[in-house]
Amino acid sequence: MDKYIIRGGRRLIGEVEISGAKNAAVAILPAVILADEPCVIENVPDISDVSICLRILDEMGAKVDMLSPTSYRIDPTTIHSFCVPYESARRMRASYYFLGALLGKYKQARVSMPGGCPLGDRPIDQHLKAFSAVGARCTIDHGMVDLSADRLTGNQIYLDVVSVGATMNAMLAAVRAEGLTVIENVAKEPHIVDLANFLNTMGADIMGAGTDVIKIRGVSKLHGATYSVIPDQIEAGTFMCAAAATGGDVLVKNVIPKHLESITNKLQKIGVVVEEFDDAVRVTVDGPLVKTSIKTMPHPGFPTDMQPQMAALLCLAEGTSIIKEGVWEQRFRYAEELRRMGADISVDGKVAVIEGVGSLMGAPVKACDLRAGAALIIAGLAAKGITEIEDIFHVERGYSNMEGKLQALGADIVKKNVPGASVKKALA
């Protein structure tokens, strides 16, 4: 069991290269199943969620070749299994994309109910609604979701909640269905547009991705394609917060500044200086940080996946900040850990009130989910003394070489293997 040990108090200075977006890659890799020829996917982040995706593809019979540490050639024509078992699916939320992709190509899928970060209730009713709408029979038995269809036909689908996963899965299921599918009240995140762009590169006919309504005219074939995943807006935002929290000067490279707008605006509002370039942003601080209020919302609102990192930064800002979580039921579990570092945060349901404390103190803490882990890293980098972060496997699900990138910016952070910790966990 690995942990990070951070000696805080060093300003982050230099340049950091942002990797491909996790939440795009984990949909695009399963989407390769829909092609009738091999695909090459580039700018794939080196994270454990991607390794799981690739392993599932390999177990299903796809031929997966690593061309470089960030690009893969995947031949889906050799797939012979349409099942994703519990052992693979439980590790990752995005395993649900195998449902849409397998259904869309083979008209059958059997995938264990997905795992992922513990953020409260995470139903998949809207995914199933979309699958049924295009003609699939859906059953859940013994923890497995079973889908089958004689034929898939286009339909009108209205999503009752704006869901990233259901939007992507509806696209995957409809892209090869007969006729026109119109999906309303869809999510508009950059990774939705990225998946649509990838499918269109393969010959799909998808319009409207990035707006409230997506129209898909089904096609009978999808050819192979070479496609590069967009940069990860949340990884970029995390480094922006880390730079600000340490009073640093960091050029965050390989980003699409437009995707960072809501994060950039919020950082500027609290006193962080953010300069935008074509494919980079520079973050510096030239005065005290001040309070703000945030409500997380689906894109283009402030992303829930940046909420914990902003909270860590706001612990260091003057005044009282208020954060309302608008997407997940339980996304403040990190507050208890930040309190161990001297933060003054009170949480009532989906609202957190943060009194700025000026400085934090290092302490032993535990990452309870992916972005909570990122928040603790930011707090640890800014804190006085040593912070030890346990359960960093959560962080490694979504951040590529986090400690290496931070070390290159001058941070004193090391990853240590603690054999005793895994024994403790096994006994717990």
**Where along the sequence are the contacts to ligand EPZ (CB under 6 A)?**
22-23, 26, 93-94, 117, 121-127, 161, 163-166, 187, 304-305, 327-328, 370-371, 398
Compute the least distance from the CB of residue 271 to ligand EPZ, in Å.
26
Q: For ligand EPZ, which is the closer residue by CB, 122 or 415? A: 122
Location of structure tokens 């997506």:
214
Contact indicator for 394, 373 with CB cutoff of 8 Å: yes
| Nearest-approach distance from CB 374 to ligand EPZ, in angstroms | 9
CB of 26 to ligand EPZ, least distance (A): 5
Exposure of 245 by Cβ count < 10 A (0-12 exposed, 13-18 middle, 19+ buried)?
A: buried
351: Cβ contacts below 8 Å, ≥ 6 apart: 322, 323, 324, 325
Nearer to ligand EPZ, 124 or 285 (CB): 124
At residue 61, φ and ψ (nearest 5 deg) are 110, -5
Q: Identify the active-site residue in 39, 117, 315, 368.
A: 117
Separation of alpha carbons 149 and 332, rounded Å: 41
CB of 329 to ligand EPZ, least distance (A): 7
Helices (H), 348-418: 370-382, 393-396, 402-408
Number of residues assigned to the chain: 428
Nearest approach, Cβ of residue 199 and ligand EPZ (Å): 16
- Which residues touch 235 (CB under 8 Å, ≥6 apart)? 18, 19, 21, 22, 45, 398, 399, 400
Shortest approach of ligand EPZ to residue 168 CB, angstroms? Answer: 7
Read off the amino acid at residue 196: A
5 versus 379: smaller Cβ distance to ligand EPZ: 379
CA distance 409 to 393: 22
Nearer to ligand EPZ, 166 or 347 (CB): 166
Whether 83 is a known active-site residue: answer: no
Helix, strand, coil share (%) of the chain residues, nearest 5: 35, 30, 35
Nearer to ligand EPZ by Cβ, of 52 and 363: the residue is: 52
Residue closer to ligand EPZ (CB basis): 102 or 124: 124
Q: Minimum distance from CB of 406 to ligand EPZ (Å)? A: 19
* Sheet bearing 386-390, strands edge to edge: 364-366, 386-390, 2-7, 412-417
Q: Are 105 and 221 in contact (CB under 8 A)?
A: no
Query: What order do you get walking across the sheet with 137-141 strand by strand?
Result: 83-84, 108-112, 144-148, 137-141
Please identify the residue of the shown chain whose CB is closest to the bound ligand EPZ: 165
289: closest CA among 265, 268, 264, 262? 268
Residue (161 or 414) nearer to ligand EPZ, CB: 161
> Where in the sequence numbering do the catalytic residues fall?
117
